[in-house]
Amino acid sequence: MTRFHGLRPLFGGLFFAAAMALPAFAEGTYEIPPGAHFNPEKLAKVGDYLGDQIANGKIAGAILLIQQHDKVVYHEMLGVRDVATREPMTDDTIFRLFSMTKPITSFVAMQLIDEGKMSLDDPVSKYIPTFANVKVGVETQADDGKAALDLVPPHRPPTIYDLLTQTSGITYGFYGNSLVRKAYVAADIYGGDPDNAEFAERIAKLPLEMQPGALWDYGHSTDILGRIMEVVSGKSLLAIEKDRLLDPLGMKDTAFYVTDPAKKHLIAKPVPNDSDFRVGFVGYADAPTKWESGGGGMVTTIADFARFAQMILHRGKLGGRQYLSEKAFKDMTTDHVGPGSGVGRDYLYFPGDGFGFGLGFAVRTNPGNARPPPPGDLGELKWDGAGGCYFVVDPKQDMFFVLLQQTPSERQKIQPMVKKLIYEAMEN
Return d(Cα 266, Cα 377) in angstroms, integer: 35
Buried b (16+ CB within 10 A) or exposed e, 157-186: bbbbbbbbbbbbbbbbbeebebbbbebbee
274 φ/ψ angles, rounded to the nearest 5 degrees: -135, 45
Q: Which domains does the chain have, with CATH numbers?
A: 32-109+235-427 (3.40.710.10), 120-233 (1.20.58)
| Those residues with Cβ within 8 angstroms of residue 410's Cβ, 6 or more apart along the chain or in another chain | 53, 58, 59, 274, 388
The residues pairing with 237 across neighbouring beta strands, listed in sequence order, are none
| pLDDT, tens digit (0-9, with 9 covering 90-100), for 308-343 | 999 999 999 999 999 999 999 999 999 999 999 999
Element (H, E) at 423: helix 411-424
Contact 47, 382 (CB under 8 A): no
What's the pLDDT at 20? 37
The radius of gyration of the chain's CA atoms, rounded to the nearest angstrom, is 21
Q: Tell me the pairing of strands 299-300 and 147-152.
A: unpaired
Return d(Cα 67, Cα 281) in angstroms, integer: 35
For the chain, give percent helix, strand, coil, nearest 5. 30, 20, 50
What's the pLDDT at 175? 86
What is the rounded (10 degree) CA torsion for 190, 138, 211, 181? Answer: -20
| pLDDT, tens digit (0-9, with 9 covering 90-100), for 93-120 | 999 999 999 999 999 999 999 999 999 9
Return d(Cα 269, Cα 199) in angstroms, integer: 27
What's the pLDDT at 117? 98
What's the pLDDT at 14? 34
Element (H, E) at 355: strand 355-357
Segments in the chain below pLDDT 70: 1-27, 278, 280-284
Q: State the pTM of this model.
A: 0.92
What's the pLDDT at 18? 37
Return d(Cα 25, Cα 424) in angstroms, integer: 16
Return d(Cα 291, Cα 193) in angstroms, integer: 7
What's the pLDDT at 283? 64
Contact 414, 53 (CB under 8 A): yes
What's the pLDDT at 9? 36
Contact 389, 254 (CB under 8 A): no
Return the closest-CA partner of residue 123 out of 21, 182, 204: 204
Cis peptide before 372 (omega within 30 of 0): yes
Q: Tell me the pairing of strands 87-88 and 95-96.
A: unpaired
How does DSSP classify residue 322? E
Return the closest-CA partner of residue 308 out of 148, 103, 111, 99: 103
